[in-house]
Amino acid sequence: MAYETLKEEVINYGKQIGIDKIGFASVDEFTELKSRLKLQQESGFKSGFEKGTIEERTEPTRLMPEAQSIIAIALAYPTKLKDAPKSVKGDRRGNFCRASWGKDYHHLLRDKLEKLGEFIKHKVNGFTYKPMVDTGELSDRAVAERAGIGFSGKNCAIITPEFGSYVYLGEMITNIPFPPDSPVDDGCGECTKCIDSCPTGALVEGGRLNAQKCIAFLTQTKGFLPDEYREKIGNQLYGFDTCQVVCPKNKGKDFHHHPEMEPEPELVKPRLVPLLSMSNREFKEKFGDMAGSWRGKKPIQRNAIIGLAHYKEVSAIGELVRVMNEDPRPVIRGTAAWAIGKISTKDGFEEIKKAMVKESDPEVLVEMEKGLAFQSIHV
Ligand code: SF4
């Protein structure tokens, strides 16, 4: 079998089904990644969302013993929102990051990989493959880098020459020895814009990320947000784009190749107050198709409360008081109490004092104390 010819056919078929870029990589051990992952683990920089052991994440043949190559794919996503609704006083809005716009990309990329797999199956007897998108053991970025999709930026994203870093990545391990591609010969050079603009200092030298400090990660946690990050998160409901937005390699990049990725303005910049009373069913119906809903409504609601505090949105006090008194989830009650204090109205402080009498959860009581502490700043 002429694998070079088959490779060309796969690339051409990929284009036909809307894959923006395809690259081929060997299944050699990812040795550099292995050392980085060990360092991440030792430094306590892991997000906790990682799948598999370090060995499984860096040795493709552990995942598929017959593995001979990896096909990496990239789909470019849009970055500009037409008719973006304004967040104004009395009607504040939150923000979903660009990677969460449109329909959940995991499904879209999986669908493309399946189609590609079926195509090769028809050409090669005994073809086997293992597709992965984001949540698999392999590092999409390490594979994409090796397969020549793009270079790894200091912002920890893969930066393609064609689409910048605004690409979704996926891959499939295959049992065919496709000839590998060469990595992209480019890099960040002396630029440090992403590192300089990261509000929490999450980007460590040499393209390493402390996930525990990364706002994109913090928006997805379910507990109380540590105090030091509450100012920094602003009105962000899910994910964070600053390290991509400031990147000069992303200048002017805005691709609308895939109708499924088109953002719905009311979904990607939703009103904050209505989010607080949303039932599970409403949340699922409205946001369930978006990648940003994968952790459920609680982190989004917690972030919405922090967003209202960030804006010091006095008109939201009534709803925040209701949430502080009625919501069954301590994280939501406590964050609401803190937010009421942060907004700092006389009535708000009185409401916190009243709620404290009835509150029994120690963590919520701590947040109430924090809320009341804003009084001393505002007397
Ligand atoms: Fe690299 Fe500069 Fe882009 Fe950061 S902002 S990824 S340093 S080019």
Distance from Cα 154 to the centre of ligand 1, integer Å:
5
Q: Both tokens of residue 85? A: 């609704």
Q: Of ligand 1's atoms, which has the minimum distance to the CA of residue 157?
A: 6
Mean pLDDT of all residues in the chain? 95
Q: Judge if the beta carbon of residue 198 lies within 6 A of ligand 1.
A: no
| Overall average pLDDT of the 174-199 stretch | 95
Q: Which listed residue (91, 104, 134, 254) is catalytic?
A: 134
pLDDT above 90 covers a percentage of the chain that reads 88
The protein residue whose alpha carbon is closest to atom 6 in ligand 1 is 153
The protein residue whose alpha carbon is closest to atom 1 in ligand 1 is 188
Count of alpha carbons within 13 angstroms of residue 320, beta-carbon side: 34
Q: Judge if the beta carbon of residue 188 lies within 6 A of ligand 1.
A: yes
pLDDT tens for each residue of 222-270: 999 999 999 999 999 999 999 999 999 999 999 999 999 999 999 999 9
Domain spans of the chain?
3-84+98-174, 193-252+266-377
**Tell me, what's the ipTM?**
0.99
The per-residue pLDDT for 98 is 96
Burial category of 289 from C-beta neighbours within 10 Å (exposed 0-12, middle 13-18, buried 19 and up): middle
Residue 98's identity, in one-letter code, is: R
Give yes or no: 134 in active site: yes
The protein residue whose alpha carbon is closest to atom 3 in ligand 1 is 247
pLDDT tens for each residue of 2-22: 899 999 999 999 999 999 999
Q: Judge if the beta carbon of residue 245 lies within 6 A of ligand 1.
A: no
Q: How far is residue 75 from each of residues 88, 128, 175, 364, 375, measured CA to CA in Å? A: 34, 23, 24, 43, 50
Q: Judge if the beta carbon of residue 158 lies within 6 A of ligand 1.
A: no
Residue 206 has pLDDT above 80, yes or no: no
pLDDT class for 125, splitting at 50, 70, 90? Answer: very high
| DSSP state, residue 377 | H
* pTM recorded for the entire structure: 0.91
Q: Judge if the beta carbon of residue 248 lies within 6 A of ligand 1.
A: yes
The per-residue pLDDT for 205 is 73
pLDDT class for 87, splitting at 50, 70, 90? Answer: very high
| Overall average pLDDT of the 357-373 stretch | 98
pLDDT class for 52, splitting at 50, 70, 90? Answer: confident
Q: Which CATH architecture has domain 193-252+266-377?
A: Alpha Horseshoe (1.25)
The per-residue pLDDT for 186 is 82
The per-residue pLDDT for 284 is 96
The protein residue whose alpha carbon is closest to atom 2 in ligand 1 is 191
236 annotated ligand-binding residue: no
| Overall average pLDDT of the 317-333 stretch | 98
| Overall average pLDDT of the 188-203 stretch | 95
Which of 80-94, 142-156, 192-206, 343-357 is predicted with the least confidence, judged by mean pLDDT? 192-206
| Overall average pLDDT of the 19-47 stretch | 89
Burial category of 227 from C-beta neighbours within 10 Å (exposed 0-12, middle 13-18, buried 19 and up): exposed
pLDDT class for 1, splitting at 50, 70, 90? Answer: low
**Bridge partners for 130 per DSSP:** 173
For the beta carbon of residue 363, count every other beta carbon within 10 angstroms.
14
Residue 379 has pLDDT above 60, yes or no: no
| Overall average pLDDT of the 24-43 stretch | 91
Pocket test for ligand 1, best of 163, 192, 253 (most atoms within 8 A of CB): 192
CA dihedral 323→326→329→331, nearest 10 degrees, is 40
Residue 301 has pLDDT above 70, yes or no: yes
Rounded CA-CA distance 99/240 in Å is: 9
Q: Residues 245, 251: contact at Cβ < 8 Å?
A: no
